[in-house]
Structure formats: C-alpha cells, structure tokens
Amino acid sequence: MNKRYVMVHDENKCIGCQACNIACRSENNVPEGVTRLQVRVEGPYGEAPNLHFKYHRVSCQQCEDAPCVSVCPTGAAYIDENGLVSIHNDKCVGCMYCIAACPYKVRFINPITKAADKCNFCKDTRLARGEQPACVTACPTDALYFGDANDSESEVALLLNTKITYQDKTHLGTKPRVYRIPTKRGGIES
C-alpha cells in the first residue's frame, strides 16, 4: 500500500450548508432517497446565550480494519491497492451483512444497482482524473482537506501533525481515516 488517503473535516469551519452533500450526489449519481454523505447539524448544546452546534460528517470512514470487508462473504467489499474500501457491484448479492456490520451505519443498498453502496472518495471519477473529491472542491468554507497522509509534504499530513484531531468510535478498533478537528468554542484568540 503506497498511499494512505485521509480526509480531514474542520468542524470549526463547517457551516452545515450541505454543499458537499449535493456535490457528492451529483458527481456520483446517487439516486433519490439515499445518500453517501450527510453533515448532520447537531445541537444546540450549551446554555443561552452561549449556544453552539456541532457539525458531524456522516460518510464512509474508510477504515483501515474495515468490518464491512471482513464480513463480506463474496469478497465484493474489498480494499484496493491504495487502501480505499471499495465494492465490486457485480460480486455483491445484497445480503446486507456489511450494512449491519458497519459501526458508522454509512452503507446502504443502491436502489438502482441493488448492490451495497457508499462513499469511496470519488475514486472512479474525480480521483481517477487526478482531482480532489467533489465534496472537498465544493466546500465554500474550505472545511475539508483530502490527500495522502503517507506523503509528509502533503497538506493533510501537515494538518494531522499540527492540529488536534479525533476520529469516531476508535474504541472499536476500525482505524477510521476520516479525521475531525473539533470546534474550539469561544471565538478565535490567537
């Protein structure tokens, strides 16, 4: 594995506008009624007047130890040469074991292909053309960063080295590759 693609979501910059959600939908022809990516606006938390919201990106976490891949009986869910968790549509029988096994609940049955579907960092479309994923490009506040964390010169490597980040449900040992920069409440001081 030569690349280690990661995504960083800066929850300070995110405004919950769903531009990423719409861009993903259009780039990947995601059918009506299902989504690969949502940004949930959770809250408000705290007491008035100091209320705040949390912007929670819900999409495939591209786990290094992906439960969906190990449970898939046919090998339809697999990890490609760049470490991306992907799906062979023609091998999937729709047993939904991967959907049940995913701790992040981000897999779904595509109503058109009837196969399991999810975010793959736009690997067949934009990544293949050497571009950034659609959500990253569309984000109006530049809250998303994407790149190869194995490349120490990359923007994401720099971010992971300098910012405090967290990942979801690390206690399950899945090693997710979506990192989040938590909101620093109370404004910017320095």
Partner 1 sequence: MNNTWGDMAQYDPLIWNWIIAIYLFMAGLSAGSVLIGIGMRWYSKDKSIESPILKASAIIGPVAICLGLACLVFDLTKPFHFWLILINYNFDSVMAMGVAALMAYMPLGFIYSIIVLRDDLAKWKLGFLTPIGNMFLPFRKVIEVLMFVLAIAVGAYTGFLISAMNAYPMLNTAILPALFLASGLSAGAAGNLIVALTCFNSSTHDGEVMKLHGLDLPVIITEMMFLFMLFTSLYFTGGAAAESLASLSQEVWGSVFWYGVVGIGFCIPILSMFLPSSTRHTKAMMLTVACCSLTGVLALRHFIVYAGQTYIS
Question: Which residues would be at the binding site for partner 1 (CB under 8 A)?
Answer: 16-18, 21, 33-35, 38-41, 58, 67, 69-76, 91-97, 99-103, 105, 108-109, 114-115, 169, 171-173
If the CB atoms of residues 169 and 184 are measured against partner 1, the closer one turns out to be: 169
Report the nearest approach of partner 1 to the CB of residue 159 (Å).
25
If the CB atoms of residues 34 and 160 are measured against partner 1, the closer one turns out to be: 34
Report the nearest approach of partner 1 to the CB of residue 39 (Å).
6
CA-closest candidate to residue 91, choices 106, 70, 72, 107: 72
Report the nearest approach of partner 1 to the CB of residue 123 (Å).
21
Report the nearest approach of partner 1 to the CB of residue 120 (Å).
17
If the CB atoms of residues 51 and 112 are measured against partner 1, the closer one turns out to be: 112
If the CB atoms of residues 51 and 96 are measured against partner 1, the closer one turns out to be: 96
